[in-house]
Amino acid sequence: MTTELYRLTATEVLTKVKAGEVSIEDYASSLLKRIEARDDAVQAWAYLDPAYVIEQAKALDAIPESERGPLHGVAIAVKDVIFTKDMPTQFNSPVYTNNAPKVDAGSIMVLRQAGALILGKTTTTEFAATTVGPKTRNPHDSERTPGGSSSGSGAAVGDFQAPVGLGTQTGGSTIRPGSYNGIYAFKPTWNAITREGQKIYSLILDTLGLYARSVDDLELLADTFMVFDDVPAPKNFSVKGAKFAILKTMVWPNAGPGTSTAMDKATSLLRERGAEVEEIAFPDHLNDLPAWHATVLASEGRTAFLPEYAVAKDKISKQLVGHVENSDKISRKAQLEAFDKISAARPVVDDILGKYDAVITPSVPDEAPLGIATTGNASFCLIWTALHTPVVNVPGFKGDNGMPIGLSLVAPRYHDRRLLAVSKKVGEVFEKEGGWKSSV
């Protein structure tokens, strides 16, 4: 039994631990054996100390049942841009090699207090800000990227090396790896989860994201982070009678055959189960959303990377140097216009999204591309990051090469829990009938 414990979801682990069927030490040992067996192929970890993992597990086993938290023993993979007081935080940058601040990020403080086992730090692109891939490979095909910038967290969860993981998103850094690795990914409403103690690229865009292999696990984490809607999510949502919209967005020309097929199949599957599905479009005045996002990103980067530029300009990428030096020649007037136009767009889009149980839109152009030098195209994600809406990548479909493709479900801001409830039922359909199954 121990050798298969690594395949459990977080919710399943909690059930077994509460029933006294499994110790945290045995569970942690199973995960470590899985990591050891698969690390050469996947390389998801920037830092992992097996002895310390077991030490944490033993300490958790020693806690009396009456004092255990809601995540007691759940192992969590943490993206290496999030501070952990007992592990290095290196941002995949030579500027911070062996950097070990003795403080936890706000998210880690919450997770530890809930009883989570912090498994290790996962790979990221440089400062979670570039598209140059780290060493990590897609668990379903080691010749392909796992996506980025949350490369290691997505790959670790997709490869059963951790049940859940933390990522971040400024463009598409949570949702895209979710699609490429065949798992659920949740980008909540902007700032619904604390960002204190993580490297910031853009205050206006950065969002802490979550990975899991089930929506139940995402809901478990949402409970822990107190992500709640004004109106409680439906307990018995049904696809039958539900109302969905298909929104291809202004970047649809980027879509490849895999995503195009997935969108068509999703529409058919939902209609077959009694849902109403219609196709909608953004109003024309929002067609420049991608350009506004790019302006905000570059403008915020001027501030974010000035410290590293000041002390080690020669050790950071040319892209980040360009942000600081404003190589795109973005005026403050253009910066303000982009900020203000995106702000004005948010309530407009909330109103559009609010007419449906969820809006379905591409997560990625297609399956994960070959090569690990770059992390893929984020064009379908960045719109929603700018709009601050919650997004869930739902897996289930596949591309021409048999690799996973997910689709995004989107809802208005602060409708996170309703979106998760809808995603759970939609996910049951997509996973059963979409055509892709994990073989790892």
Active site residues per annotation: 79, 149, 173
By the 8 A CB rule, do 305 and 322 touch? no
- φ, ψ of residue 404 to 5 degrees: the values are -70, 145
Reference 187, options 195, 236, 244; nearest CA is: 195
Side-chain-facing half-sphere of 389: CA atoms under 13 Å = 30
Which residues pair with residue 82 across a beta bridge? 198
Residue 326 neighbours by CB under 8 Å, 6+ apart = 298, 302
Strands annotated E in 330-398: 358-362, 391-398
Residue type, 108: I
Q: What is the dihedral of CA 378, 314, 90, 201, to 10 degrees?
A: -40
Side-chain-facing half-sphere of 299: CA atoms under 13 Å = 19
Reference 208, options 223, 220, 226, 190; nearest CA is: 190
Reference 404, options 412, 395, 413; nearest CA is: 395
- Alpha-carbon distance 259 to 252, whole Å? 10
- Alpha-carbon distance 270 to 272, whole Å? 5
- Take residue 329 and report the two structure tokens written for it: 């020649």
By the 8 A CB rule, do 171 and 367 touch? no
